[in-house]
Structure formats: C-alpha cells, structure tokens
Structure 1
Amino acid sequence: MVDPGALGVRIASGVVTPLVKKLFVRDQPGAALVTEPVRISALVSFGREKRNVTPKDVEKIADELVRRALRAAGPGERPVEAAEAVAVRGALAHSLAALGTLTIDDYEAVALGPEEFARRLRADTAATIASFAFSRDAELFYERLLHTASLHILNFFTQRSTYVARLQTRQSQQLARLVQAIDVLVERLPSQSSEDAAFESLYATHITERHGTLTIYGLDTGTGEWPLDTAYLSLEATRERGAPRDAAPGDNHAGTHIPAERVLAQHDQVLLRGVAGSGKTTLVQWLAVTTVDRSYEHGLTHLVGRVPFVLPMRRIARPGAELPVPGDFLKAVGCPVGGEQPRGWVERVLRARRGVLLVDGIDEIAADRRESARRWLRELTRTFPGNLWLVTSRPSAVPEKWLDTAGFSELTLSQMSRDGVATFVRRWHRAAGADEATGTALLQAVRGTTELNRLATNPLMCGMLCALHRDRRGFLPQDRKSLYEAALTMLLERRDRERELEHPDGVRIPYAIQVQLLQKLAWWLIRNSRLEMDRSDALHIIGQAVPSVNLNASGEDVYTSLMLRSGLLREPADGRVDFLHRTFQDYLGSRLAVQDLDFDLLLNNADKDQWDDVILLAIAHARPKEAEQMLRRLVGHGTSRSKLLAAAGLPFAAEVDPSVRVLVQEGVSSLIPPDSLPEASELARAGGDLVLSLLPGPKGLDDQMADRVAWTAAQVGSEAALHFLTRFRKHTSPVVQATLTEAWQHFERDPYARDILAHLPQQHTVDVRGTEDLHALRAIGGWEDIRIQGSYRVEDLTDLIVRERLVHLWLEAPHPVEGLAWLSAFPHLKSVFVPTEVPPAVAGQVPQWITLITQRTRRG
C-alpha cells in the first residue's frame, strides 16, 4: 500500500497551480502600484466582493486535489478507504476556506514558509477537522495535501504583480523604522561610554535569559516554563470610570480599553491593578524582554534605547532594611551580572531618562511597609523624572489614587475575552508540545460547560484548566466538586509555596482553615441573596470564627491575608467585599450548607435560578442518604423547574438508590424532549442552562423533534447554548436550518455568525437590526437573503452588505422607501420586498433585473 504521507508530493505542479489560482482574485489594472500590505482574506475569490468562485467551488477544488492525488497513487494502490477520502476532502476544503479569515498579509505568509502556513490553516479550523475522526493514514494524507497546497499558494503570492512592489515597500518601511530607532537611540544615548555600552549588552542578554520564559505555578504536572514569545497573550487595560477632568484629548478614559503592553506609550507612570493570576507579572516580563530587544520590530518606539529594571517587591523589600537606591537595584534582585556594572551606571541611565522601572507586586509586601514603598516611589520619580514606571498590585492592596500625588495613572487589567481564551489555550498547548486536538477538545469543553466558562477568565485559571486537562489525557475531573477542589488547592496553598513567597503580613493560614473561613463568607452571601457584603460584616464573621480555628492573629490580620493571598476575594469598591469568581462562592457556600444541615433552606429556594449551582453542588457534597432525600423532595415539589433541577443533580450524587434514580427520570420524561414549540420555550424559561445537559440530539431525532430541541437551546441564549447548537449546524432539515438562522438574535452576534451561520445554507432569511449585524455577516463573507428590520441608512447597506453575495433583500422600514436607485449596487440581487406601495417614479429607479414586491411576504 502506498505511503499516504508521501502521496501528496506526487501531484505535478501543472495540476496544483491552476487549482490554487482559482482560490484568489486576479490582479487588477494598476495593482502593481499597490504598496500597502494586502490581507490574504482580501485576496480570496470566494465570499468577497471580487468573487469568482463560491464556497462550493472551494469544495470542488479540494475534491480535485484529493482525486488527483489518489490517481497519482497508481492502479490498485489506495492510501485510504473511499469513505475516509471523502472526509479528507471535507477537511481540506475547511482548511482552504480558512484563507478567507486569515489576518496576515501575503508578505508575512511567505515569511512563515509552507509548514507554518499549513499549520495556521489547520489551526483555524481545528475544531471542525477534529470532528472527522481520521485514522493515522487519513491524517497523514490530509496533512501532506494541505502542505502541498500551501507550498503552491505561497509560490503564487510571490508571483503576483503586487508582491514585488509591497516587498520593496516593506523593506523600505523596515529601513525607515531602523532609521527612526537610530534617531531615538542617538537622542537617548548622547554620551554613553564604551564601558556602559558593553555592560548594557551583557545586561540585555541576562534580561532575555532570565525573563524570556513564562512560569506557571501550582499545577499537578509540576512547575512548567514556556517560551515567553510563544505563550504571551496581549491583554487589555481599562481606566476605571471617573477619569480626571483635565485628561488630555486621546487619553485613555472611562470605559475605553488599550493593549496592556502599550500603557506606557500613553502614560509615563502607571499603577496597574489586577486580580490574582490576571497576568501582571507576565506583562512585566514581556516589557522587560521587549525593551532589550534590538530588532525594533515591535514598533514600540517609547521602549527603544531604554533599560528595564525588574523590581519584584517581595525580593527588594527585605525585613529591617530600607528599599534600595538605584545603584543597588541589581544587587537587590540578585542579578548575577550586577557586580560588573560600572559605578554610577544606573544613575546615568535614569538621568538620561532611559529607564523602564517595573515594580511588581505592591500587595506582596506587608501592609505596614506599603507607606514607605509609596514614599520611595514618590522620591525616585521626582529625583529622576522622565523615566517610565509600571507598578502592579492586586486591586485591594492599596486604596484608590494611592500614587496620585506622584503623578501615576491608574489602570486595571481586564478579564480575558472569549477569543483571548481560545488564543491562550492554543498557545499553551503549542508551548507545552501538546497535541492541538487536545487544546481543541478543551476549548469545546470550556464553551459548552457553564462552570468551566466561568473559571476561564484569566491566564492563571486558564493555565490551570490546560494543565489539568492535559495531565488527565484530555479529561478534566469528572465532577465539578473535584475540579473546584483542584483549583482551590492551587490558589490557596500550592501557588505561594512554589513561588517561595513569605507571608508579608506575618499570617500563615493553613489550607483547611482558609477553606473554612471562606465558606462562612460565601454562605452568608448566599443566604442573604447578596453578591457582595460590607467589609465590616466580613470582619465580624471572621472575627467570630478566629477563636475556634486556633489562629494566633486578629480578625483584621486574617481578613487582610485572605484578601491578598487567596485569589478568591476582592474589594470592588471602598468598604465592599465579594468573591472574584461566583462559581467558587457557590462551591464554598454549598459545602458549609451541607455541614450545617441547612437542607430546608436550600430546597426552599429551588425556584430561584441563582440557587441552581448551590443546590447542585450541595448534592455533590452531601452524603448518599442526604443527596437522595434532596432529589426526592425536588421531584416532589412538582414544578418543571424542580424536576429539571433534580435531573441535573442526579450526576452530582456519588451514590443513588435505583428507585430514586427512576423517580427522577420519570419526573423529567414528561418535559424532555418537549412536545411543541411553546413547551420548548417554557422549558427554556424554566430550566435555563440546566436544560442543556438533558436535551438529546441531534442523532436519533426526527426532523420535527430536532427542531424543537434546537428551539429550546436557542431560547436559552447562553454561550453554553451556542456550543450546544453547533451539533445541529450540519442538520439537513430545512426547518432546523431556519430555526438556527432565526436564533441569531438570541446570541452575541459575532460568535454566532462564525460558529453557526457560516456553516448553514443561505436559502433562509437572516434578520438584521443594525450595523453590528451587518458587520458580523460581512465577516463571514456575506449572506444571500437579508431582512432589514426597522429604519436604515442607505450608505450602511451599500457599504456593509457584501454586494456580490446578496440575492434577496427585505426592507421593513416603518416609513415608505423614498428612493431605490441605490439597489443597482448589488449585481446579483433578484428581488426586493417592501412593506408598502411605492410611487411609480420610485419604482422606476429599480434596475430591470430586480423584481420589486410591495406586499409583506414571509419566506422560508
């Protein structure tokens, strides 16, 4: 049998090259004059305004590549079975279609080389490709074909008339950046001695080696180090509302976000707050390594020619010693080349305004030393003005405007976005040398499971999930209780111990006692239907508990230690306390509820959706007889919601009597699957995310039942519901497809368009209610049948609708259409529906190839 991994290279260039050319638009007259980079997504000939082929034609091209490859194998030699050949064709088509989503330009693509370029195409469709469940031979066959196609695609790019012009321009731009960098260097290095220059080169090497890896602590797989340039994820920083009135135009102000690595481009001095694990230390490392990078490719001219000083407060604030003067910075952090620094070098750097001072972890020193740290910072910034300062802290460690008198701007690191989580997971697995499919499976689990979605909000928690998932060979702990226990162990015990962090406030609280105290706070919040509490209430609860837990510390000291070190508590406003992750509040509170036998209180609140997780986790914590009694009472309540809650809680119980299991299953069988669309809507309202784990499908369902199940999930409208609906996007029933198209309005636009609409046939009408919807449709290549709900601006329609894609247009504006001449902008438009009669003069503006229908008509 022929080697499937080698087969792809047997296809002659004369065969592949014409097929590849079909994927891209032809050069237009004057194209050689284009000097700006051209994104690959703008070159593809499918799904764009200069469309020559359709997405179906991409499948035909993939089919032809597979067919030619099989023919090249020779008679009687088939590398894969016929069924797998069809799967390879589908996977190859998905990968080639990813050309339409790549944000890199052709110059960058060629620089990647065919191997990396093929990996990019494969990564962007990894979730879809994983669903094909290839054999090893089929996987090799697919990878070789994709590599061969990538090689010819890159070769095609280099032969385009625009490429040479852009290549020359890119080289000119690089030279211009270097000239600019040299100008900056000349300005910032007016009189540098050869001794200083030699030491700075040595010091730069040290910074790169010391801070060029990212360390993740507290994982069951042990401490891991990943290359920083691979693992670093750009986060966003936000100025809290209430920005200074005298802020200059363009300053970051209330509600705006900027990339965290660019905060020093806008502000010379920044106090950056961030919760435990939000990426503060990683940002400090990235800024240090980027500052000493002499390639100047980063484009951050404010860092060119500067010298970074990484100053972790837990290392430089030694007990009984003053904070270091500049000449002792390197000695204070244990820099191995510090003894070779020329006398007065640090002071000369700071006098020349070339310093980047990265003071990490104000929260990691004792509270009684933070005032001296503030005086130290204020004195240094006044003595050596013009340098860049970044000071990091957990949110509650220092009060608002703590460094205001020293001229610092205050920013806060934001939570990771949905796309940020996906990027982090991909990079983590790449850096760890893990299989991409493992990362894809984790992303699917995170998006489809509410509790995982709630945890994946910052790099620390995402890293924990990645490590746990990989360590268990693709499976996270099988129950939520074990997952939260693993997370708590990391946050409350292992992370500080593995970082060798002394307890700055002199209070070391054992793990079991931390859990006991935190669950008292959590249960108080739950019982009182609160998401946050007064600081005085928290102090009172802890103060009452301290004598019983054998801690030689005051309630105030214990509170402070929990606030700063647990990673679970925060002070969102002055005098207020809450849990950073609601899911940990529910876990800890339910644990104490079971310990205190508060089952009546739990079950009396079963009709409130905010108690769902508390009750489910209480079933997990309860002993078998207690769990059985909870399940019986939930079914006995007789409401749809209580029956759903019992069914969702059944997997949480470690041991259940068969009679109880039958009772629960009979209780929910009358609800799921729903018998009608109204029942489906009611089920979604009653159960919310609870119902998703109980819904069947799509396998084994007839078309009508599949539609009701999809309708139920659509009415839930959560991210977990979106993930559930991805199972139905390949369903062949027009009714199901219409339901999925209509469900768009229940979800966040861009993710739904990308994950659902982009996979549906376009014979169904999509409703558009604003420019946000039009942008989302444009991002997936446009749509054939669009209904504009409400008023509109003609320029929005002509600018944002993909002109070559539109076939049917519905205009349901509340006022009569006054002009229709603009419809000529859409060459393939066949019919336009308007709600009212239009004057003959207006109707005469419609191009002859378009049918104007003036009664309200519903299609599909």
Structure 2
Amino acid sequence: MIAGGVADLVVAVLGEGQGSGVLLGLNLVLTARHVADGSGVVEVIHPSSRRPVECEVIWADEVLDAALLRAESAVISAEHAAPLGRPRVGRVALASPLSHCQIVGFPQIQRYGDQGDDLEYEQYRGTVLPMAGRMRNVLVCELDVPAADERGSEVSPLAGLSGAPVFAGAVLLGVVTQVPRSRSHFRIEAAPIDAAMTSVRRIRWNPTFEEITDVHPKDELFEARYAKDLAAQYRKTEIFGIEELGRTESRWDLDTAYLSLEAEAATPDGRPEARPSAQRIESLLKTRPRALLRGQAGAGKTTLVWWLAAHAANGTLNMKLAQLNGLVPFVIPMREVYARGGRFPAVSELLSAGRVISDDAPEGWAGRVLEAGRGLLLVDGLDEVPPEEREKARRWLSALLDRYPETRCLATVRPDAVEEDWLRSEGFTELTLLPMSDEDIQSFVTAWHNAARLEAERVYDAHRCGDERQLLTSLEQDLAHQLRQNPALRDLARTPLLCAVICALHRRRRGLLPTTRWSLYRAALAMLLGGRDAARGVPHPDDISLDSDEQHALLQRLAIWLVRTEQQQMTHEQATQQLDLAMRDMSQIRTQTTPERALRFLVARSGLLQERTDDAIQFIHRTFQDFLAAKEFHESGYVLELLNHGGDEAWRDVIVLAVGHATRTDAQLLIERLVQFGDVVEGREEKWYLHVLAAQCATSLLSLDAALMEVVRGRVRALLPPQNHSEAGDIASLAAWAVELLPGPGEKDGFGEYIVEALTRIRTADARQKLKQFALHPGIDVGVPIALGWIHQPAEEYAREVLADSGIYSLYVQNSSQLAQLPHLEPIPSIIVDGSYTAEELDAHLPTRYVEVISLRNNRKITHLDFLRTREQLHALDLDLPVGTLDLLTALAPLPSVRRLKLNGLRDYADMSQLPRVFPGLTGLTLQLEEGAAEPPDPKVLGAEALGALFGRQLRVVVQ
C-alpha cells in the first residue's frame, strides 16, 4: 500500500471492553471474537471520523477466536477510503522467523487528553515465528522489546490490543487474539487472516493472498519516492495552444485538464454490449482487470495512461477506481521502448521503460510487486511497434502476464493496428474510445479556456490579466456558439487533440476557423511555426532565423524518415544526419547554421518536436508527423512510393493525407491503383481494407473524376453490408458519402444491426432518415442498436427524426440533453437513465404514461424517489443508487404496480420489513452485491423462504 499507510486500516472496537480491529472494507471489520462476544452492542470507531458506528457480528469462530463485524453504515467516508485501495493480505510461506513485522492497535494504556479518554495508536515491532503455533493454526509473534508496563498497574500493557492487525510490511497477516501467560509481554498470538477468510462463507471478498517469505522495508520507502516521481512525470499534460504553446506554459496538471472520455466494450463476437454502449472509461475499467483500448490518433489514449499512472500510485483515484489505488504502475511507452533497440523489457527493466527518474529500486523489487498481484501494467501504443514486430510484442506481454496472472493491464492501440480478439486469449476485453459527444466538446472548451485563464494569471500583471480573462470569456462563448451552429466544425472537434487545436486557433485568429481536416492541420502548423517567438519577444537562439517555410522543409525531412523507417522517434545523430542531407539543397540555411544548431532550434522553438532525456527526439503527436510526411511525399515527387504500402494499416493516415496534398493527376492515380490492388486480392478482409481506403482517399478530395468516383462507389457497394463492428466503423468514417450505399431495410438479408451501427455514427439528416426506415420496418429487430446509437447523434434531432413514434421498446439516457427529450418520445415502455440527476430533474423529464420499467444507474445525487408514485404503470425497478438505497425505498408510499425490483451495488442489508408495504405486488427481488459486501447472514433470515413469508406469498429471490 503506497498511500494511506497501514494505520489507516486500524479501528477501535468497543464491546464489553475495548479492543482493536482492522478494516476489510467500508463497513467490514475483522477483530478477535472475544472482544465482541457477550456484548449486547458492538461499536467501532475510526480516528478519521471520531464517531462510533454500531455493528453486528456476521461471523465468529470460537477456535480461531476471530470475528467479522458488519457496520450499519460506512466506518469511514468514501473519500477517506478511496486512497487506501484494497487491503493487502498474505500468509507466511517459510518456516524460519520472519522479522520486521509490526502490530498496530489501541491498547488501553495508550491514552491522551485531559481525562485520559482519547485513544492513541501504539506500534510494536516484532518477529513472526511460523513454527511456534503451527499445530494450533495460530500466528505467533515475538516482540523485539517487551511492552512497557506501568509499575504497580494491575492491567496488562497489552490490554485492548486484541483484534489488532499483524502486518508484514504493508501486508495483513492476522489479528491479535491473546497474550500467553508467563511470557513477560514478549509473546503475542494471532488468528491468521488466510484461515479466517477460508472459514468465512458469507462475504464477497476475493483477495490475492501474497506468499510472504521476507519483509523488505526498503521497498515501501522506494515506492513512496516512486509515487512522487510518477506524479511529477505523468500528472502534467500538454494542452495544445495555451499561450501559443510555450514549452513550459502548455503543461497543465491533469486534475485541471483531464476529461473523462466515453468508450464502449465489445462482446466476444466483437459487437457492442447490449446495454448503454457509451460509458465513461472509468466505469468500464472498474470491472475489467485487463483491457485493450482502441482509439484514433488524438483520442486521448496516452492522456488516460498518464492519468491512471499518476493517480493510482498516489492513491488519488475516486471510489469508482479505488481498487487501483495503491497498485504500482509500470508505464511502457512502446514507441520509446522499441526505439531503444527493438527489445521488450524484462521484469527488471520495467521501471526504466517509462520516463520516471527513479533508478535505485531495491534488487528484485519489480518482481516482488508483480508476484504479489500489485502491478498495474500500462502499455501505451502497441501500434507504434512495426507491424512485423507486433506478434513479438504480443508474445512478450502474454508471457509476462502468464508469469504474473494477477497483474492488471491496460494496453492502447490504434483501431485497426491489430485484429479483433488479438489479446482475448490473455483475458483482455476490447474497449473503443468514442468520439467526444456534443456535451463533452462543450466541457472540453470550458476546461481549455479555464486553463488559459489560469495561464493569464500566471503571466500577466493584474490589469493585463483582467483584460485577457475578459477576452477569453468572450472567445469561449463565441466558440461554444460556433460549435453548436456549425456541424462541420463540431465534427472536427470530436477528439481532444483536434478540439484543443480548434480552441487555440480560435483564440489566435479571433474567431476565424478552418472547416476541413487539412486546413485545420495547416493552420495549426502555421500557428506553431510562424511568428510565435516574435509576437512574444523571444530572441532567436544563436542568431538563427528560420521562417515558417524553412522550418516546414526541415521538419518534413525528419517526418518522412520516421515514416519510411516505421519508427516513432530518432536519436540526435539520426536527426542531424537527416537535416544535413536536407540542408545540402538549402543554401540559405546552410550559410547561417549547422545541422546540430538547426536541430536545437527546431526542438526549442518549433513547438512540434520534443526531446527525451535518453537521446530520443519525436514529434509532439503522430498526427503532425504523418501530415508533414505526407506533404513531403508530395513535394519531393515520391507520392507513388506510397503504393508500396497500400495494404499496411500503419501507412493509412499518411496515404489519405498525401492524397489531400497531391496534384489531381497523382491523387487519381493513387486511387485507381488502390482499387486495382483490391480487385486482385482474394480475401474479404484485404479487399475490404483496400477498397475502403480508396474511398477514404476519394472522399477527402474536393473534386474527383466522376467515372473514377463511380468505380470506387461500386466497389464499396459490392462489399456491403458491413459484417462486423470494425467494418461498421470503417463505413461510418466515409460519413455522408456512404449513406446512399448502405442497404435499406429489406434490400439485403442479415447484418442489419451493423448497417444501423454505421448509420448512427454518421451525423446527417439522410442517415437519420434511413435509420427511421429501419426502426419502422416490421421484419427487422434493430431496436437495441438504434437506441444505443442515440449517444452518437445530436440529441434533439435524433429524438425527433428517428426515435419519435418508432416503436422502440427501451431507451438508454446518458446525458442531460437526452433526458430533456423524453417528454417528446412517448410511449417508451423501458427507460434506463445512467448518471447523476436529482429527483426533480427526473420527475420533470421521465414520462408519466406508458413507462413500465425504470432503471437508475450510477446516480449519486438523488435524495428521494417520490416521483415514482406518479408513474402508475410502472411494474419493474432497477436501482443503482447511493448508500441508503433501502432508506430511500422504505420512505415511499406504496407502489402496488411494481412486480420486479432489482437493487444493485448493495454493501449491506438494512431492515427489509418495510418492503411489503411499499411493494405489495412484488413477485421477484434481485439483490446484487458489491465485492466486499456481506452475504446474507443466514438464508433463513434473508432468502426466498424468509422474504416469501414476509410478503405472505412465494417470492423469487436472487442474490448475485
């Protein structure tokens, strides 16, 4: 445990006397049985709250002298609990003495305050003796020094320590049960945690037991330093365009700049899961210990990796990802790892693979972390390994995870760089980052301008700062308006990178913005390379003066070398060699500087290159590298060279961008050849790739020979309909051009769901019109993908043009814009609302007629459920609400129409005796427990038979 420390798990237990205990969850406490035995009321108190919480004993073992308590409410707040992560537990796996252990608790003798009533921690150092209690299954600990005994006191100096945890480093081994007599307070016995948890049958807690053979005090000290280094390196991110991208000024704390992105998970057949497809990435990662995250360039993959690394190490993730707190992140940036020699890191090299400065880890530390199941492997950019080496990368990752199966892992890759299910045999779920929704774009614009206002405060005096802040506020409002009114601009802003570029250009140009991808890139490069230093009064280093065109020419040479060699970074020597070759044809540059000085200038002043400390130079983003390389292929007359790489996914963006730069003749030739290549290959996958690539090139041009365009259209039409999730995404990338090609309902049998999926990602009126045809067609059941597709479309237009009067049975509401449309969509029998909304907001927008099923998920705002009373046809409820769900329900007036009730994420069981009053017609009850929640203490008390008796009839009860 890196954050919080073992003391934060220790509580005082108050029964007949006073003892100690250890937290296993928000409301679960392990203690000694005799502390709670015979007491009418047992309470626990944590120093952070100073408020006792009443508990019940849900399990006790007389032989072990151990008991498990369930508190009626959380012992500590969620905010205090999140940094603790999951408690580490272990068993002693050797026969020789284990030194450097400790016991932390609240002995009665350790008091302070005026009345001596305030408890204080006490910490004892000791050695665990594995053989001493082996026959009795007892953990025996011998203290390094005897406990201090007040002369003349009749109370043991260890009284009150019963139930206190025994730790080996940060690993819980057991809880104290007794002090053997005649040992002069040197010897303590404890119940082993593994024996206790094996005996407990009614708790949802599945920890990894670490096999403890030694205690390494230096590990904890190093991990604390390592966490600080991770925060220093990865808690900052580049925000494009802040103060026109000054190198220092553009780095911002991820707490300010991070935007929670939406993603979707695929089922084993590659389809989106049959539930709200778009969920925040944190929700998806919570239940997926291994995930392969696909995302376009600039979609936010690397930012997510950095955010997870910085926060998990320092225990600052919120409750949704609290189980990652305290894990040890290893960031593996594949572009840098591979560039160092094409070899993937061994376990001992995982630390040096990232960018942190910690290099003094105790010997064997990384292996011990992974062996204990405490590793968080963050593999960023698998697509940045050359295609022929990616199978080696997969085998490396597979072998590492086979050796350390408890290691959590997130790997990122571009969408088509590896095939579907590439890591499924290793237990990975596939996630896909989605384009930012309209609401996310607005949130990003606000965050960007907030960062710019903070920068103004840092840079300017009070008067200038006030003017600049006022200007930024005005610009923010204007940009928000433009994004709402201009669909083309809004579609350009679907990734964090391009949204930031738009914000920066809008600020620089005072509102004049490009409307195509190519013009956006060109304008961004012009902003970076032209006049920035002069405008800010920055002198040229070493008297070098390179204008925008000259910088472009040099950077293009570096970019094309990286693309041709399929590398993502270069050494100083490689960069200077390429600049030397370029400058042989640029006499005006060679006369004023050398390749080495030109490289220093570009790194320091262009804003496009960044330098790593390990002799590595790379572009700030691959998007700009590919754009400049494509421009160089055109300007140097090498466009047709791209045909040699037509079937290589890594070259796709370069090829499409090069067509945008090329002459009309070269562009037409490129597209013709791609069509021809697709005609001669036999496999559907290869044919699909080449013909869709030809279409992507064709649709990127302002004009193309009509006959050739019709050829391309015919080739794509012949491949339709799309037959999987990936193909649906490819067709959607062709936007409005593809709508007419996609078959309508009844035109072709099968694959209707993938046609609908593609159409939902094309944000045009024609696409919505076709979707409405599918919704109304009696022979095709595509209600689920049509409902899921709402998140990809403008909420009002989709509701009005597709969903209204469509006969859709179930809807997924995932933002406030969608919620506001519900009153216009009756009848919708089943409505799932995902997110936090007040009861008043739900009452205002949920239909009062026809709604039969209401599901409320991840709601942390709601304080009452009175609005349900006006939904008289409601017969099923599915609730995932804050702690106190049962209290919210039992406060309701009767709801006689409700027959099915599902309660998700329960941590405990409050009194259910009021449920028959509220739900007199209930026939089915499902209780879904969170991990760490206690199972029903006794099936006779909480089970089908008992609840059936409570309701006076047979009741189907499921505890999940």
TM-score greater than 0.5 by the shorter chain: no
Give the TM-score range, shorter chain.
0.3 to 0.5
Q: TM-score, normalised by structure 2?
A: 0.40
Whichever structure has more helix as a proportion of its residues is 1
**Higher share in strand:** 2
